[in-house]
């Protein structure tokens, strides 16, 4: 039910570059602010940023539950851009600002950093729009999927999990 929180606050992103497009998942963290991964908005192999971004909160197949909203501007962590491939994961975050305050309709998540040991034994939920960039993949990038499983190793800037998040 992508028209109800918390699923309404999960967004599908369409990111447009000069010669390609990609799609990713983001999360509403304020009325007009989306948290996503830096690798969605910056192509490290080509050294290019997305030219434009469309945000689709609560997308359900071909139904754009809350419409589409262009990014007004966005910020990619400089650490991601400057880091080598091995260290880039520690900085793989970006923020998108929209002019519209669609989060007043969808709701949004609070952002907090858990303390040491707080995630031990907890269940992680991964909700988003995985891409099907392979022949016969079950994912189209247009439907929201939910996966869950225990947190694995938890470190200061990342954690491991066994949740299916891509094809």
Dihedral, CA atoms, 32, 94, 162, 65, nearest 10 degrees? Answer: 30
pLDDT in tens, 69-109: 999 999 999 999 999 888 888 899 999 999 999 999 999 99
pLDDT in tens, 100-112: 999 999 999 998 8
pLDDT for residue 41: 96
pLDDT above 60 (res 133): no
Q: With bands split at pLDDT 50, 70 and 90, how would you rate the model's confidence at 162?
A: confident
CA proximity to 107, closest of 29, 25, 11, 2: 29
Contact in structure between 59 and 67 (CB atoms under 8 Å): no
CA proximity to 150, closest of 116, 117, 123, 114: 123
Q: Does the pTM exceed 0.85?
A: yes
């Amino acid at each position: 039910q992508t028209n109800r929180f918390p699923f309404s606050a999960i967004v599908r992103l369409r990111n447009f570059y000069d010669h390609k497009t990609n799609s990713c998942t983001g999360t509403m963290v304020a009325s007009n602010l989306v948290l996503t991964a830096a690798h969605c908005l910056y192509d490290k192999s080509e050294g290019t940023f997305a030219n434009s971004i469309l945000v689709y909160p609560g997308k359900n197949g071909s139904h754009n539950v809350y419409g589409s909203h262009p990014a007004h501007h966005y910020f990619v962590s400089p650490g991601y851009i400057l880091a080598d491939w091995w260290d880039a994961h520690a900085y793989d975050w970006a923020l998108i600002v929209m002019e519209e305050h669609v989060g007043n309709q969808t709701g949004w998540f609070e952002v907090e950093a858990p303390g040491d040991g707080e995630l031990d034994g907890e269940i992680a939920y991964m909700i988003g729009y995985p891409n099907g960039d392979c022949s016969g993949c079950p994912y189209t990038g247009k439907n929201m999927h939910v996966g869950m499983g225990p947190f694995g190793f938890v470190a200061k800037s990342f954690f491991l999990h066994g949740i299916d998040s891509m094809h």
